[in-house]
C-alpha cells in the first residue's frame, strides 16, 4: 500500500442520496447521519422536499417554501408540532454539519407543478401552447420517435431571452439564497441543460455573492452534447455522467469523459432514484453491487449512491408513492466495503480529479484496462476490469507495470479486499480477476 499523500488536495465528492419520503419526517433524516458519515460520505443529497402539486410528485413543485406534508410529522412522537418548516430543515443541516457532512438539495427550476401558485401569479413566465394553455414538457423515445411522454402535471418555464426572464432569475435567486441561509451547501440542478448557460451563470454568481462556498451539480443525463456544451459559461462545479450504462466495450463513455472533463469534473453512480435497483436486477448479488460501486469510484471524480444501496434494497424509489412503510429488510450489507472504497477517494488525488484517462487494452480483449493520470500530482491509477459474469480472467503483472511505466516493485494494489485473499493473490506473475470484478492500482512517483 502506498503511503498517504503529503500534499493537500480536495477529495472528490462522495454523495449519499437520502430519498426524503422513504424516511418520512425531517427529524428522522437526522437518525441516518452517523451511519452515512461512518461510510465515508461527505455529502448528503436530498431530493425535492417541497409541497408538491396535486399529482404528488416530488418533482412537481407547487410551493418552494413549504414542506411536503409527509415530511412534517404529526407533532406527536416527534414532539415538534410548534416547529416551522425552516426550523426543521435548519436543525437537519446543523446536525449534518456536526457529523462532518454537507447537505445538497434538488433545485428544480426548469418547470413547476401545473397547479403551482406561480402559474396563476405569473403566467408570462411559462411556455404556452398554440391554444394559450400552459405547456407541459414532454420527451420523445429515442428508439421509437412515435412514442412521446407528456408530463401533464408539470408546467414548463420559459427562459428564452425576453423581458420576463430577469424577474424569473430574481425569483429563483431568492429561493437559492433562502436555502443557503438554512445551511444547504449545494444544489443538484435538475435537467440543468434545459436552461441557458447564461441563466445559470447569473444564478450561480448571485448565490456565491452571499455564500461563496456553495457548490452546483449539473444533472445532464441523456442531454444532446450541444445542450451540455452551452453550459460552459455557467460555472458548474460538477456534472453527472452516464457510466452506469456502459457495457465496458463501446467508446461513447470515454468520448463523453474527454469531451466534458474540462467543463466540470463528473460524478458516477451505480444506481439512482430514477433507475431500477441493482440488487433487484442482480437477484440480490452483493458482488454485483460492490463491482459497480468500485467502478463508479475508480472512473470519475465523484461518486453517488441512493439510500438502501448498501443494504441491497430491491424496491425502486418512486417520486409519488415511496413512503416509510417501503423500508426493506437487507438483502446483504456492504457498508464496510463502501467505507473502504470511499476512503480511497479521500486519500488519492488521481481518484478525485478528471485527469486524462484512456483504455490500454483492445476492445476484443476479455480484460478491460483503464489508465488515469493526475494533473495535480505525479500519480497514476490503473483499473483492470473483468465484466464477464462467469469466467475468471488474468492479466500479466509485468504488462501492467509496463503500462504504468514502473517497476514491478512499485506496483501497488489498493483494491479493497473481501477478506479471503492470500498473499499470493497480490504478488504472483498473473493478476487474477474473478467474474464481475475489478482490481485497482496506484503509482506514486
Long-range contacts of 269-272 (CB under 8 A, 24+ apart): 269/240, 269/243, 269/244, 269/296, 269/303, 269/304, 269/305, 269/306, 270/244, 270/295, 270/296, 270/305, 270/309, 271/244, 271/305, 271/306, 271/309, 272/17, 272/244, 272/304, 272/306
Provide the pLDDT for residue 145: 83
Calpha distance 332→312 (Å, rounded): 5
Identify the sign of the CA torsion 156, 161, 163, 168: positive
Q: For every residue of the chain, which 3-state class applies, written as one string?
A: CCCCCCCCCCCCCEEEEECHHHHCCHHHHHCCHHHHHHCCCCEEEECCCEEECCCCCCCCEEEEEEECHHHCCCCCCCCCCCCCHHHHHHHHHHHHHHCCCEEEEEECCCEEECCCHHHHHCHHHECECCCCCECCCEEECCCCCCCEEECCCEEEECCCCCCHHHHHHHHHHHHHHHHHHCCCCEEEECCHHHCCHHHHHHHHHHHHHHCCCCEEEECCCCCCHHHHHCCHHHCCCEEECCHHHCCCCCCHHHHHHHHHCCCCCEEECCCCCCCCCHHHHCCCCHHHHHHHHHHHHHHCCEEEEECCHHHCCCCCCCCCCCCHHHCCCCCCCCHHHHHHHHHHHHHCHHHHCCCCEEECCCCCCCCEEEEEECCCCCEEEEEEEECCCCCCEEEEHHHHHHHHCCCHHHCEECCCCCCCCCHHHHCCCEEEECCCEEEEEEEEC
Q: Report the distance separating Cα 35 and Cα 310, nearest Å.
A: 11
pLDDT (0 to 100) of residue 138: 84
Whole-number pLDDT of residue 420? 54
pLDDT reported for residue 404 = 95
Per-residue model confidence (pLDDT) at position 2: 38
Task: Record the pTM.
Answer: 0.94
Tens-binned pLDDT, residue by residue, of the chain (445 aa): 333 444 578 999 999 999 999 999 999 999 999 999 999 999 999 999 999 999 999 999 999 999 999 999 765 444 456 789 999 999 999 999 999 999 999 999 999 999 999 999 999 999 999 999 999 998 777 678 888 888 999 999 999 999 999 999 999 999 999 999 999 999 999 999 999 999 999 999 999 999 999 999 999 998 999 999 999 999 999 999 999 999 999 999 999 999 999 999 999 999 999 999 999 999 999 999 999 999 999 999 999 999 999 999 999 999 999 999 999 999 999 999 999 999 999 999 999 999 999 999 999 999 999 999 999 888 999 999 999 999 999 999 999 999 999 999 889 999 998 655 544 467 789 999 999 999 999 998 7
Q: What is the pLDDT of residue 7?
A: 52
Please tell me the predicted confidence (pLDDT) of residue 3.
Answer: 39
Give the up-direction half-sphere exposure of residue 245: CA atoms within 13 A in the CB hemisphere: 12
pLDDT of the residue at 74: 64
Name the grid cell of 147.
Answer: 412514442
pLDDT of residue 230: 98
| Whole-number Cα distances in Å, 276 to 118, 147, 240, 280, 314 | 33, 21, 18, 7, 8
pLDDT confidence of residue 4: 44
The C-alpha cell at 428 is 504472483
**9 within 8 A of 421, measured Cβ to Cβ:** no
| Residue 287: predicted pLDDT | 96
Q: Does domain 14-110+159-353 have CATH number 3.40.50.300?
A: no
The pLDDT of residue 255: 98
**In the chain, where does the domain assigned CATH 3.20.20.80 lie?**
14-110+159-353
d(CA 412, CA 114): 56
Amino acid at each position: 500500500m502506498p503511503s498517504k499523500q503529503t500534499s493537500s488536495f480536495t477529495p472528490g465528492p462522495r454523495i449519499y442520496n437520502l430519498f426524503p419520503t422513504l424516511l418520512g419526517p425531517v427529524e428522522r433524516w437526522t437518525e441516518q447521519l452517523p451511519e452515512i458519515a461512518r461510510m465515508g460520505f461527505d455529502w448528503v443529497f436530498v431530493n425535492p422536499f417541497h409541497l408538491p402539486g396535486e399529482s404528488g410528485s416530488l418533482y412537481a413543485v407547487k410551493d418552494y417554501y413549504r414542506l411536503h406534508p409527509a415530511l412534517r410529522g404529526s407533532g406527536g412522537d416527534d414532539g415538534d408540532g410548534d416547529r416551522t418548516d425552516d426550523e426543521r430543515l435548519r436543525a437537519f443541516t446543523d446536525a449534518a454539519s456536526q457529523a462532518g457532512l454537507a447537505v445538497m438539495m434538488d433545485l428544480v427550476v426548469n418547470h413547476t407543478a401545473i397547479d403551482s401558485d406561480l402559474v396563476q401569479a405569473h403566467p408570462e413566465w411559462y411556455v404556452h401552447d398554440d391554444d394559450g394553455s400552459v405547456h407541459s414538457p414532454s420527451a420523445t423515445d429515442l428508439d421509437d420517435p412515435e412514442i412521446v411522454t407528456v408530463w401533464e402535471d408539470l408546467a414548463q418555464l420559459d427562459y428564452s431571452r425576453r423581458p420576463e426572464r430577469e424577474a424569473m432569475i430574481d425569483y429563483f435567486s431568492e429561493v437559492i439564497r433562502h436555502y443557503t441561509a438554512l445551511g444547504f451547501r449545494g444544489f443538484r440542478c435538475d435537467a440543468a441543460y434545459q436552461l441557458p448557460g447564461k441563466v445559470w451563470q447569473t444564478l450561480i454568481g448571485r448565490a456565491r455573492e452571499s455564500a461563496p462556498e456553495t457548490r452546483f451539480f449539473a444533472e445532464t443525463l441523456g442531454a444532446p452534447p450541444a445542450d451540455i456544451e452551452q453550459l460552459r459559461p455557467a460555472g458548474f462545479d460538477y456534472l453527472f455522467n452516464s457510466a452506469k450504462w456502459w457495457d465496458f466495450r463501446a467508446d461513447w463513455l470515454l468520448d463523453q469523459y474527454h469531451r466534458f472533463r474540462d467543463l466540470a469534473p463528473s460524478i458516477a453512480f451505480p444506481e439512482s432514484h430514477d433507475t431500477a435497483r441493482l440488487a433487484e436486477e442482480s437477484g440480490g448479488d452483493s458482488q454485483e453491487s460492490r463491482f459497480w460501486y468500485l467502478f463508479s469510484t475508480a472512473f470519475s471524480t465523484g461518486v453517488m449512491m441512493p439510500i438502501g444501496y448498501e443494504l441491497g434494497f430491491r424496491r425502486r424509489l418512486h417520486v409519488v408513492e415511496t413512503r416509510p412503510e417501503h423500508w426493506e429488510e437487507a438483502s446483504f450489507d456492504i457498508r464496510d466495503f463502501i467505507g473502504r472504497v470511499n476512503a480511497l477517494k479521500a486519500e488519492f488525488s488521481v481518484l478525485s480529479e478528471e485527469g486524462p484517462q484512456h483504455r490500454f487494452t483492445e476492445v476484443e480483449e476479455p480484460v478491460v484496462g483503464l489508465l488515469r493520470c493526475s494533473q495535480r500530482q505525479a500519480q497514476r491509477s490503473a483499473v483492470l476490469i473483468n465484466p464477464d459474469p462467469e469466467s475468471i480472467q488474468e492479466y500479466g503483472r509485468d504488462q501492467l507495470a509496463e503500462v504504468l511505466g514502473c517497476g514491478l516493485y512499485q506496483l501497488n494494489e489498493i483494491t479493497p479486499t473481501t477478506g479471503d485473499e492470500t498473499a499470493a493473490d497480490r504478488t504472483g506473475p498473473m493478476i487474477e480477476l474473478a467474474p464481475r470484478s475489478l482490481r485497482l492500482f496506484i503509482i506514486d512517483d
